[in-house]
C-alpha cells in the first residue's frame, strides 16, 4: 500500500504527525515540491493507493482521478476542498475524506497584514537594514474604518479582532443582513459605500461564479487614495491587473496578497515588483497549530481506512 503526502512545502509532516503506526506493508512518500502539470502529476501518482493533499494546493479533477488506477483514498486537510472532484472519485470507488481545522489562522494573518500596511512595516524594516531610521509615517488602526467583504466564519473573526483595535467595522456581501452584521460587530452598508468610505478593505468571500472579479477596477477606483486592500481569500475574487494599476499610479496606498492565480507564485511574476504591494506565500492557514490538527488527523484517517473503521467521508 503506497501513500503519498503532497506539497509539504515546509517538510514538517513527518515531525508533526506520528506515522509509525502504519502497517508494515505501507510505504510513505512525502513530496516537498509542487507539480502543476497534470501529465507529470499523473506520472508521479500513478502507483499510489492513498493520496494526502494539503488544502487546495494540488487540484484533483476528474481527468486526473480517472488516470490513477490504483487510487483508493484521498485525504484532504480542512473542512472543504473545492479542487477535488468528489463525484468523480466516488464514481471510481475512491473514498474522499477530510480533517478538522482550528479555523483562526487566516483571520489573524489578515490583521497582521493590515498592521503591516498601516504602520508601513516593510519600508521601516528595509530602512533599518540599510542603516537608516524612521523611513515613513504610519497610521493607527484605532479610529480607522475597516470594510469586510464576506462576514462568514473568517470575516466575523476579523470583525472581532478589528473591534478590539477600536476600528469601525462595516461589511457587505450579497446575502448579508443588518441583523447578522450587528451580531458580528459590524454595520451593513451598500457595496459602493463600503469601497468609498473604508480606510482598508479585507476580502473573506468564498470563491464562486458570483464572486469572481467582484472586486474589479470600478470598486478599486472608488477607494480613497490612502486606503489599502487585503486579500487572504482567493485570487480570482480580486482583479489583480486593476489593483496593480492603482498601486503603480498611486491611486491606492497599498495592498497585501496571500493568494494567487498560480501557486507557488512564479519567481518572475510581475507582482513581485509592484510598489507598496506586500506579498505572502499563501500562509493564511499555514501555522504550527493548524498543522497540529491537519497532519495527525490525516494519519488517523489513513489508519481508519486501512482498518475498515468509519471515517469522515466528504459528500459530492
CATH number at residue 178: 3.40.50.720
Decide if 267 is inside a domain.
Answer: yes
Same structural domain, 110 and 242: yes
Decide if 246 is inside a domain.
Answer: yes
122: its cell numbers: 516593510
Same structural domain, 265 and 212: yes
Write down the pLDDT at residue 315.
77
Write down the pLDDT at residue 138.
97
- Residues 63/84, Cβ–Cβ less than 8 Å: no
The dihedral region occupied by 78, where left means phi > 0, alpha psi between -120 and 50, and beta the remainder, is left
Decide if 313 is inside a domain.
Answer: no
For the chain, list the strands marked E by DSSP: 2-5, 27-30, 50-53, 73-76, 95-98, 145-149, 168-172, 187-188, 200-203, 228-231, 254-257, 277-279
Decide if 192 is inside a domain.
Answer: yes
Same structural domain, 147 and 64: no
Geometric angle at alpha carbon 262, from 270 and 74, rounded to 5°: 165
Same structural domain, 163 and 302: no
Give the integer Cα–Cα distance in Å for 106 and 285. Answer: 5
What long-range pairs does 72-76 form, CB within 8 A, spacing at least 24?
Answer: 72/305, 73/49, 73/97, 73/301, 73/302, 73/305, 74/50, 75/50, 75/51, 75/99, 75/298, 75/301, 75/302, 76/52, 76/314
Same structural domain, 113 and 174: yes
Same structural domain, 67 and 112: no
Decide if 76 is inside a domain.
Answer: yes
Same structural domain, 222 and 242: yes
Same structural domain, 41 and 163: no
Burial (Cβ within 10 Å: 0-12, 13-18, ≥19) of residue 154: buried
- Name the residues annotated as catalytic: 234, 263, 282
Give the integer Cα–Cα distance in Å for 242 and 233. Answer: 17
Q: How many domains does the chain have?
A: 2
Decide if 315 is inside a domain.
Answer: no
Same structural domain, 90 and 129: no
Q: Is this prediction's pTM over 0.85?
A: yes
Give the integer Cα–Cα distance in Å for 224 and 233. Answer: 22
Same structural domain, 240 and 163: yes
Same structural domain, 170 and 71: no
Decide if 316 is inside a domain.
Answer: no
Q: Which domain holds residue 113?
A: 105-279
Decide if 314 is inside a domain.
Answer: no
Mean pLDDT, each 10-residue run in order, the chain (316 residues):
98 98 97 97 98 97 98 95 96 96 96 98 96 95 98 97 98 97 98 98 96 98 98 98 98 98 97 97 97 98 95 84
Give the integer Cα–Cα distance in Å for 164 and 43. Answer: 50
Write down the pLDDT at residue 246.
98
Write down the pLDDT at residue 7.
98
Same structural domain, 80 and 97: yes
Amino acid at each position: 500500500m503506497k501513500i503519498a503526502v503532497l506539497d509539504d512545502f515546509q517538510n514538517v509532516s513527518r515531525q508533526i504527525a506520528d506515522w509509525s503506526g502504519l502497517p508494515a506493508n505501507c510505504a510513505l512518500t512525502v513530496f516537498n515540491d509542487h507539480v502543476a502539470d497534470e501529465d507529470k502529476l499523473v506520472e508521479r501518482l500513478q502507483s499510489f493507493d492513498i493520496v494526502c493533499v494539503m488544502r487546495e494546493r494540488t487540484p484533483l479533477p476528474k481527468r486526473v482521478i480517472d488516470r490513477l488506477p490504483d487510487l483508493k483514498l484521498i485525504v484532504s486537510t480542512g473542512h472543504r476542498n473545492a479542487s477535488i472532484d468528489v463525484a468523480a472519485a466516488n464514481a471510481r470507488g475512491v473514498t474522499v475524506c477530510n480533517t478538522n481545522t482550528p479555523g483562526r489562522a487566516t483571520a489573524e494573518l489578515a490583521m497582521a497584514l493590515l498592521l503591516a500596511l498601516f504602520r508601513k512595516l516593510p519600508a521601516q524594516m528595509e530602512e533599518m537594514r540599510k542603516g537608516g531610521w524612521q523611513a515613513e509615517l504610519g497610521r493607527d488602526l484605532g479610529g480607522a474604518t475597516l470594510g469586510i467583504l464576506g462576514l462568514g466564519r473568517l470575516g466575523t473573526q476579523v470583525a472581532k479582532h478589528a473591534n478590539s483595535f477600536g476600528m469601525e467595522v462595516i461589511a457587505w456581501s450579497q446575502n448579508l443582513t443588518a441583523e447578522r452584521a450587528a451580531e458580528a460587530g459590524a454595520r451593513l452598508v451598500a457595496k459602493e459605500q463600503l469601497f468609498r468610505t473604508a480606510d482598508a478593505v479585507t476580502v473573506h468571500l468564498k470563491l464562486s461564479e458570483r464572486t469572481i472579479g467582484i472586486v474589479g477596477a470600478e470598486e478599486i477606483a472608488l477607494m480613497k487614495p490612502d486606503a489599502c486592500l487585503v486579500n487572504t481569500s482567493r485570487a480570482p475574487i480580486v482583479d489583480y491587473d486593476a489593483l496593480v494599476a492603482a498601486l503603480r499610479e498611486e491611486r491606492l496606498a497599498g495592498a497585501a496578497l496571500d493568494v494567487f492565480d498560480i501557486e507557488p507564485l512564479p519567481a518572475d511574476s510581475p507582482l513581485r515588483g509592484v510598489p507598496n504591494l506586500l506579498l505572502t506565500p499563501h500562509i493564511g492557514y499555514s501555522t504550527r497549530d493548524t498543522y497540529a490538527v491537519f497532519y495527525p488527523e490525516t494519519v488517523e484517517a489513513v489508519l481508519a481506512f486501512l482498518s475498515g473503521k468509519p471515517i469522515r467521508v466528504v459528500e459530492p
